[in-house]
Structure 1
Amino acid sequence: MRACPALFISAPASHQGKTTVTAALARHHARLGRRVRVFKTGPDFLDPMILERASGSPVYSLHLWMVGVDACRALLADAARDADLILIEGVMGLFDGTPSSADLATAFGVPVLAVIGAHGMAQTFGALAFGLARYRPGLPFHGVLANRVASARHAQMLSEAIPEGLRFCGHLSNADDIALPDRHLGLTQAAEIADLDARLDRAADAIGKTALNDLPPVVQFEDQALPEAPLLLEGFHIAVARDAAFSFVYPANVDLLRTMGARVSTFSPLADDPVPDGADALYLPGGYPELHAATLAHNARTAASITAHVRSERPVVAECGGMLYLLDSLRTIDGAQHAMLGLLPGDAAMQKRLARLAMQRIDTSHGMATGHTFHYSSMTTPIQPHLIATHATTGAEGEALYRHGPITATYMHTYWPSNPAAVAALFRGEPL
């Protein structure tokens, strides 16, 4: 068993301020000299960027289905060995999804802090707090924090509305100027928020004036041994595109490549970097190519090196935004058409409406791999799917996975530790 103070930050819905509060807690305790480890529930790339900046450590995903119960337990126990505090940010509302944040908190006995956006609300705040705390018997519940509070009088009304037996942990004010900017896929990337550290410091100052100034209760985390990943990529050199256009990468995915023996290097298509010399395979992750389409269209050195890589029949693995970059063209939300690499037949167009959001699984000859999809673009291609993913809970048809020469491309973001053998086959260009 590993003991460590821990807190699960959730809310009644999205857009209540979970990430702001989690980041505030991480920065506050890190400034006190504590080693803080933060996890994010579910498939997310943007919140972890903020939380990594706040805590100073990489942020890994926890999800009972996508990551798996045993792997979640192993990640938490490993963090508890060295951390002074573990924070877990939930996803959506506390009871939303199958499995939900509440399921995860209950599975590992981590007490829940409910963050409630209190703007436009008074005594109903108490009813929401009571419902979140009592809806599911057995849920470990720590208390409630009011966010976006208008005044001292407003805060007093909220605290007086809390039923007896529930802990009111304090409030954050609208005037604190700590809200994090967002856009269509969620929060803005950490590197693009010029005053992020100042916002995090203001948030930490504010959280330090609440009852959350102190460490939360200690939680006992069970040790969990996992099978060692086989050395299926020993001697392989894998190049990964990493910049503001291609940034949606699970740390656990890169860890797995290295554990399987690969050497990993990075390059920036936005900086017009070539693919690193000697790369045996290339990974183009998701991100925001639509925000940088004009730059990508004009960066000839990167384009030439990726084209040479493909023509030499070396594998390319592309997910979501990385797949869009390989297409013939990408139309941005303003209607402008930008030529892309032209290595994967087809065209894509950005749209204001969410195209698809779901947890998905894909069944390969090496077994099932888990992941998710979340995109605001549509794509047309003459290529027939090689495999088709399915929705995690309904079994409905999901994203297509395409193979075109040495390229494997899909909208699905796969959580690679769910199937190391399938991942090795991808990067070796072997049958799936």
Structure 2
Amino acid sequence: MVTAALARLHRNAGRKVRVFKHGPDYLDPMVLEVASGHPVYQLHPWMTGEDECRWRLSEAAQDADLILIEGAMGLFDGDPSSADLAKLMGIPALPVIDAGGMAQTFGALVLGLARFDPELSIYDVIANKIGSPRHGEMLKERLPEGIRLLGAIPRNDAMSIPERHLGLMQPAELGNLDQKLDDAAQVLKEAGLDELPKAVEIPAVEPATKPKTLLAGVRIAIARDAAFSFIYRANTELLLAMGAELHYFSPLEDSELPPADALWLPGGYPELHGNTLAENTAMANAIRAFHNAGKPILAECGGLMACAEELSDKEGRVHSLYGLIPGRAAMAKRLQGIGMHSLTAEQGELRGHTFHRSTLDTTWQPAAHTRKQAGTGSEAVFSKNALVASYFHGYFPSAPELVAAMFRGEALTFPGYSENDHS
């Protein structure tokens, strides 16, 4: 919310603000787009690739007055961490530190962050959740030499935003988001955060090579509504660059599919809309007919759940859904999968992530499993009758040829798996 409020503060001051998100995330970028008024893309040296990180930042720097990149977790957490991204891009980090219940120790914490990695530049810090103006002054007095307190944000209800089990609520569900962002921006302005941080130069980078038109003329129907909304901008832009025609529809409200050669059911919150999805029998029948016609379908996470015969929601209510995959998807009390993953096929290595709180009980055998970037664990990938389904969310630009093969309904071959069923 600090990032979103900063974006809105400087946008309201007449500046063009571009915002990026470090790592895989669908919900934060939705809010950041509303805050900044401009598209938000992911930057992640492993998932999106270092070259794409450099190119996107360079492109934004051509006409933006301010660029903000929201980090992920703590500054040095993860591999690559937010600090790694900052070093790669040659930009400083701006730590936002919860200063509640802290005085001189704030300065020690800043000193530790600044010295932990000599290659990382830190010129400014933000103190969050201070108790009073005097509290802010105490924090400022003990900062290490060469580091400025850019601002001290007081506790304020305007700095909070409703959440649920997978993260923030979606902007469409928050009728007062614009007002909340303006209120949060005012809090930051009163805290002195309308001053710009130190400027750095972003070198110009040549744009990425234009992808081959592997999907020329292919019409792809994409589910997009409150139940299916986890879609990277870079994914749809790649599909268009490869020549595809994109047609959006709502499984919640529409009674039929748009004319299409392939179907994409992305992630989202089908568990919150199980009854509506189940009662829309016309759409269910249309999706079943599409599948029975042997046309390709990609179902990611929430899309996978909707393809099961049944979906059990958080309250234990069971809904009959599309029935393309035998078995039941059921919500669990805790996370069942989280982390960066990749899926390797002969057509390439698709990188992405997984983040889900449900399980799938099915008689189907996986055609392959994803590989976790760090640690143990994997996600099953089902590939049968032109349906590719998994809890895995793919970042399409990491493997254009594999993505094109999925949407063309081509047989997929996964090295190391000999019992694939691609019929």
Q: What is the TM-score when the length of structure 1 is the normalising length?
A: 0.92
1:306 to 284, 287, 307: 287
* 1:232 aligned residue: 214
1:402 to 353, 361, 382: 382
1:254 to 211, 233, 236: 236
For 1:29-428, list aligned pairs within 5 A: 29-175=10-156, 177-216=158-197, 217-276=199-258, 278-394=259-375, 396-428=376-408
1:431 to 407, 411, 415: 411
- Does the aligned pair in 2 maintain the 1:29–1:36 contact within 8 Å? yes
Q: CA deviation at 1:78?
A: 1.4
Q: CA deviation at 1:294?
A: 1.2
Q: CA deviation at 1:124?
A: 2.0
User: Once structures 1 and 2 are overlaid, which stretch shifts more, 407-416 or 201-210?
Assistant: 201-210
Structure 2 unaligned segments of length 5 or more: list them.
Answer: 413-423
- Does the aligned pair in 1 maintain the 2:328–2:360 contact within 8 Å? yes
Q: CA deviation at 1:233?
A: 0.4
In 2, Cα distance between equivalents of 1:328 and 1:107? 46
User: Once structures 1 and 2 are overlaid, which stretch shifts more, 141-150 or 252-261?
Assistant: 141-150
Residue type of the alignment partner of 1:221: P
Q: CA deviation at 1:218?
A: 3.1
In 1, Cα distance between equivalents of 2:393 and 2:349? 14
In 2, Cα distance between equivalents of 1:189 and 1:142? 33
In 1, Cα distance between equivalents of 2:271 and 2:345? 30
Q: CA deviation at 1:176?
A: 5.2
State the SS of the aligned residue for 1:130. Answer: helix
State the SS of the aligned residue for 1:229. Answer: coil
Number of residue equivalences? 411
State the SS of the aligned residue for 1:144. Answer: strand
User: Once structures 1 and 2 are overlaid, which stretch shifts more, 166-175 or 49-58?
Assistant: 166-175
Q: Deviations over 1:66-86 (max 9, x none)?
A: 000011111111112232221
State the SS of the aligned residue for 2:35. Answer: helix
State the SS of the aligned residue for 1:247. Answer: strand
* 1:16 aligned residue: none
Q: Deviations over 1:195-219 (max 9, x none)?
A: 2111100111122234431333132
Q: CA deviation at 1:273?
A: 4.2
In 2, Cα distance between equivalents of 1:43 and 1:221? 25
State the SS of the aligned residue for 1:422. Answer: helix
State the SS of the aligned residue for 1:354. Answer: coil
Residue type of the alignment partner of 2:73: M
2:6 to 25, 30, 35: 25
In 1, Cα distance between equivalents of 2:142 and 2:388? 55
Q: Deviations over 1:312-359 (max 9, x none)?
A: 111110000011001011111111111111111121111121111110
User: Once structures 1 and 2 are overlaid, which stretch shifts more, 154-163 or 85-94?
Assistant: 154-163
Q: Deviations over 1:224-260 (max 9, x none)?
A: 3422211010001101101111111110000000000
In 1, Cα distance between equivalents of 2:6 and 2:144? 25
- Does the aligned pair in 2 maintain the 1:76–1:221 contact within 8 Å? no
In 2, Cα distance between equivalents of 1:46 and 1:401? 24
In 2, Cα distance between equivalents of 1:157 and 1:83? 34
In 1, Cα distance between equivalents of 2:99 and 2:26? 27
- Does the aligned pair in 1 maintain the 2:154–2:191 contact within 8 Å? no
State the SS of the aligned residue for 2:316. Answer: coil
State the SS of the aligned residue for 2:263. Answer: strand
CA RMSD of aligned residues (A): 1.4
Residue type of the alignment partner of 2:379: E
Q: Deviations over 1:127-172 (max 9, x none)?
A: 2222112211021213111112222232222223323332111111
Residue type of the alignment partner of 1:105: A
In 2, Cα distance between equivalents of 1:209 and 1:111? 24
Where in structure 1 do 4 or more consecutive aligned residues deviate above 4 Å?
none
In 1, Cα distance between equivalents of 2:71 and 2:38? 18
Residue type of the alignment partner of 2:391: Y
CA distance 1:157–1:273, change in 2 (3 Å):
farther
State the SS of the aligned residue for 2:411. Answer: coil
Q: Deviations over 1:401-425 (max 9, x none)?
A: 1012121100000000001000000
In 2, Cα distance between equivalents of 1:44 and 1:208? 27
- Does the aligned pair in 1 maintain the 2:339–2:353 contact within 8 Å? yes
In 1, Cα distance between equivalents of 2:156 and 2:188? 13
Q: Deviations over 1:285-309 (max 9, x none)?
A: 0011111111111112211211121
Identical-pair percentage: 52
